[in-house]
């Protein structure tokens, strides 16, 4: 098992882990990021595929100074890391200057729901919590769909999320509004160098798959292809299907930028809003809340206090009136045989003794 993981973490005997007999220390994590002087490498079945140094900037998980050093850096926001967010928001604003069409609006809405489902069902309920099982090819497709959401790679996402549950609203939780303030929990935490590397130690189970590592490291590729294909399809519709009343710029602005921007804020609201506003049902040691409105726009993630009480349950709306569209679709996928072994809500969740009394729910 250890050697398997060492392999996909790019740990060669000469690089650290195996040589020291430790297996997984900071140097092993460093090796996972291939931050050696030789540049960015991906190891697969014993073969190392080296990217030329000139192309290391394509690897989102390459840190010249070493990933371990970056993860130990002071927790401060870097101004240049706000630029991608500024770009995303300017792109979203451009939607109001390139005209509007039912085609572009429908694509924007469709891509919002598709990618919200990919984040909730795959990044969160599968990669982060393993609340159900699936095949290796399906897992790969799940990762591709999640990457389209422009929220970095599945291993990076899951690694941070697992820490969130372990240290919820305590020192060390990367995005706690209680510890670090609302704005930091919503967006600021992604502008800190320290939170940029993927901590492979937190996702050893996923790091067994080289294909996932590669997708995780080149996380920009799927968003780039999505934006490009939207632009090209808009150009093609403009020329060959004037009845669609759309253009390349329109499809890019509405379908990619505006849709991705709204998607980002709704997903981020689970980190920020769902730890501030709403009502808790369970006396968890964190500030998580259940929030009906958030559950609607996130396909069920708004039942966040339920989720903190039983994070291994595939279902987050524990009662029939707690709408959890993500779970309904996952159930359908299980009937089709795409996924299986869905983990149920634990019986203690329905024990009134484990739940807060109604006045306490209001107060907490």
Residues that bind Zn ion (CB under 5 A): 288
Cβ partners under 8 Å of residue 52, min gap 6: 39
Q: Which parts of 38-176 fold into alpha helices (H)? A: 67-71, 83-93, 102-117, 136-147, 154-166
Do the Cβ atoms of 134 and 280 come closer than 8 Å? no
- Angle CA 159–160–162, to nearest 5: 70
Residue 173 CB, shortest distance to Zn ion, in Å, is: 8
Residue 165 CB, shortest distance to Zn ion, in Å, is: 6
State the pairing for strand pair 133-134/339-340. Answer: antiparallel
Cβ proximity to Zn ion: between 101 and 288 the closer is 288
Cβ proximity to Zn ion: between 95 and 356 the closer is 356
Cβ proximity to Zn ion: between 23 and 346 the closer is 346
User: Closest residue to Zn ion, Cβ-based?
Assistant: 288
Cβ proximity to Zn ion: between 151 and 288 the closer is 288
Residue 270 CB, shortest distance to Zn ion, in Å, is: 7
CA-wise closest residue to 118 among 143, 136, 153: 143
Residue 304 CB, shortest distance to Zn ion, in Å, is: 5
* Gap between the Cα atoms of 328 and 326, Å rounded: 6
Tokens 């709403």 belong to: 278
Residue 102 CB, shortest distance to Zn ion, in Å, is: 36
Residue 345 CB, shortest distance to Zn ion, in Å, is: 14
Cβ proximity to Zn ion: between 230 and 349 the closer is 349
Give the residues across from 340 on adjacent strands: 133
CA-wise closest residue to 268 among 186, 340, 188: 186
Q: How many residues does the chain have?
A: 364
Structure tokens at 323: 């709408």
Residue 322 CB, shortest distance to Zn ion, in Å, is: 16
Cβ proximity to Zn ion: between 16 and 317 the closer is 317
Cβ proximity to Zn ion: between 31 and 288 the closer is 288
Do the Cβ atoms of 307 and 316 come closer than 8 Å? yes
Burial class (CB in 10 A: 0-12, 13-18, 19+), 336: exposed
Residue 300 CB, shortest distance to Zn ion, in Å, is: 12
Cβ proximity to Zn ion: between 27 and 204 the closer is 204
Burial class (CB in 10 A: 0-12, 13-18, 19+), 86: exposed
């Amino acid at each position: 098992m250890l050697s398997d993981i060492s392999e996909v973490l790019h740990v060669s005997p000469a690089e650290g882990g195996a040589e020291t007999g430790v297996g997984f220390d900071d140097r092993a994590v460093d090796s996972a990021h291939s931050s050696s002087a030789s540049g960015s490498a991906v190891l697969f079945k014993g073969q190392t595929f080296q990217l030329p140094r000139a192309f290391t900037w394509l690897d989102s998980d390459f840190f010249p100074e070493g990933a371990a050093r970056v993860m130990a850096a002071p927790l401060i926001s870097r101004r240049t890391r706000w630029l991608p967010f500024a770009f995303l928001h300017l792109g979203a604003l451009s939607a109001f200057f390139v005209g509007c069409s039912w085609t572009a609006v429908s694509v924007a809405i469709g891509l919002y729901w598709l990618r919200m489902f990919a984040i909730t069902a795959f990044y969160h309920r599968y990669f982060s919590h393993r609340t159900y099982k699936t095949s290796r090819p399906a897992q790969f497709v799940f990762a591709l769909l999640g990457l389209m959401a422009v929220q970095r790679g599945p291993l990076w996402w899951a690694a941070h999320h697992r820490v969130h549950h372990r240290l919820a609203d305590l020192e060390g939780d990367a995005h706690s509004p209680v510890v670090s303030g609302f704005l930091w929990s919503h967006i600021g935490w992604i502008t800190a160098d320290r939170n940029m590397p993927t901590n492979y130690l937190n996702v050893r189970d996923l790091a067994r798959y080289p294909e996932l590592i590669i997708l995780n490291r080149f996380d920009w590729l799927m968003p780039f292809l999505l934006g490009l294909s939207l632009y090209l399809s808009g150009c093609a519709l403009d020329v060959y299907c004037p009845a669609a009343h759309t253009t390349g710029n329109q499809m890019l602005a509405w379908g990619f930028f505006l849709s991705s921007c709204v998607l980002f804020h709704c997903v981020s609201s689970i980190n920020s809003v769902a730890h501030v506003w709403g009502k808790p049902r369970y006396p968890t040691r964190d500030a998580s809340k259940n929030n009906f409105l958030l559950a609607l726009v996130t396909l069920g993630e708004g039942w966040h206090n339920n989720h903190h009480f039983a994070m291994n349950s595939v279902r987050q709306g524990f009662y029939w009136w707690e709408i959890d569209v993500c779970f309904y679709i996952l159930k359908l996928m299980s009937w089709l045989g795409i996924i299986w072994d869905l983990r149920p809500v634990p019986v203690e969740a329905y024990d009134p003794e484990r739940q807060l009394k109604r006045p306490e729910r209001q107060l907490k």
